[in-house]
Structure 1
């Protein structure tokens, strides 16, 4: 198989696996496009997870991760998250002790006051976790993160 086709196929497989909205052509170097809208709740959740995972991956001190949590998460929810982390000895945003290889955010409906998204975190080829994330439409803050299927209070 020639290098151009192999590169295009590899890019297509990666785009599909990561849930990217990229169009892959049979040429090397096909550009990918990621878009969003500041007023869109799903974009906001995706922006948070993308930036937060980058911060946790890149920083040893945790200052940026903490700043992102302060900006995107409701104050009351941050207290609940701190308690969850203390009890579970894990990162409450990721619901894990490590950092995922990839993430995908999918609209899951909502109510008049909340937007619900499913955040799928990919840990390895055969391992994912799906989180349910609620954003308060009025405050534009994340007010709940829970593993899909987990009981909530």
Structure 2
């Protein structure tokens, strides 16, 4: 199984919606497309994205999930989560920047994540981040919203 297949399976299992829709209706109302792209910067600093299914260590890969509202009514208070695969390290680059992070996949907080060490608050290393969550307040009828995160192949 490639890292793309692994994250796609996990992402499909972690879409959560609330508000106007019940879960049975939400499954029919929301379509998700996940892409994995190698992030390439040219000599002028311009960034491009190339489709990738496998990549060597050190490659930066962007996971982008696009959620489309397939019905004729708005979806309110949609929470979407993207896990960070075990063989990847989060770079800290995320879109939109309103994402919250988790080291356990259950408890989310604004970034950077912090913990107490010897009585002092210190930043948790990005290598310990396991998933990100975005709260989409409104996804209008027949419209789409995208979220993305960058990782490095370990």
Q: TM-score, normalised by structure 2?
A: 0.31
Q: TM-score, normalised by structure 1?
A: 0.31
Structure with greater helix percent: 1
Identify which of structures 1 and 2 has the higher relative contact order when contacts are C-alpha pairs closer than 8 Å and 6+ apart.
2
